A and B are shown apart, each in its own frame.
Chain A
Amino acid sequence: DAKTTQPPSMDCAEGRAANLPCNHSTISGNEYVYWYRQIHSQGPQYIIHGLKNNETNEMASLIITEDRKSSTLILPHATLRDTAVYYCIVRARDDKIIFGKGTRLHILP
């Protein structure tokens, strides 16, 4: 079973920041938080990952709470091309990925 809980769907206006929450209350100390997204009919795309500290790259920012039990993926300026299913994954370094149902993000024009 997936170790994370995400809302099934969210809407965000184009140009605004999209904040996608994820709960992972049973995360272990050696497990990372990963985010992927899947645009229709494509393979999942890696977005970002982190262990304890907040992370930022050219695609997004990842905010992890101090107790590590939840995190938020932030897409700073959402575009229509960001419409996708977003998956929050918790895994240790050598673990496989087990997908949950993710959050279906709709970007509204």
Chain B
Amino acid sequence: GAVVSQHPSRVICKSGTSVKIECRSLDFQATTMFWYRQFPKQSLMLMATSNEGSKATYEQGVEKDKFLINHASLTLSTLTVTSAHPEDSSFYICSARESDSGVSGNTIYFGEGSWLTVV
């Protein structure tokens, strides 16, 4: 299957600072990428949908000024957690939707995830 890569896989940052997580589709172009957050023992929660060349669409309750999303190319989307606080510590996961995959439903592939710890 297609490969989606995230970087960094783990990051520790100080409270009040910002941290950027990258999501790349390695072998396909993705006009749409998605960002999720997952707390321990819970399911993945969709944060936002990122469309190449346009503003991201955020889910209800997600602060767009705190979680900045940029999707500048067909293979790269970034999530920046601004002014991070300990409660932002979580597992952040991106996914990318294959574009123009013909009859087969535009499969979405997920990255490996990024663990963020805010101290």
Contacts and interface: CB of A to CB of B under 8 A. Distances in A.
Interface in A5-38: 32, 34, 36, 38
Contacts of B1: 46
B106 A44 contact: no
B107 A49 contact: yes
B49 interface: yes
A93 to B, nearest CB: 5
Interface in B87-119: 91, 93, 95, 97, 104-113, 115
A44 B110 contact: yes
Q: State which size class the interface on A falls in.
A: 20 to 34
Interface in B1-21: 1, 4, 6
Nearest to B111: A43
B44 interface: yes
Contacts of B95: 43-44, 97
B46 interface: yes
Size category, B interface: 20 to 34
A17 B6 CA distance: 33
Contact of B106 (A42, A93, A100, A101): A93
Given A97-B46, A100-B43, A101-B43, A51 B105 contact: yes
Looking at B36, B93, B97, B105, the one whose CB has the most chain A CB atoms below 10 A away is B105
Given A96-B49, A97-B34, A43 B43 contact: no
B49 A99 contact: no
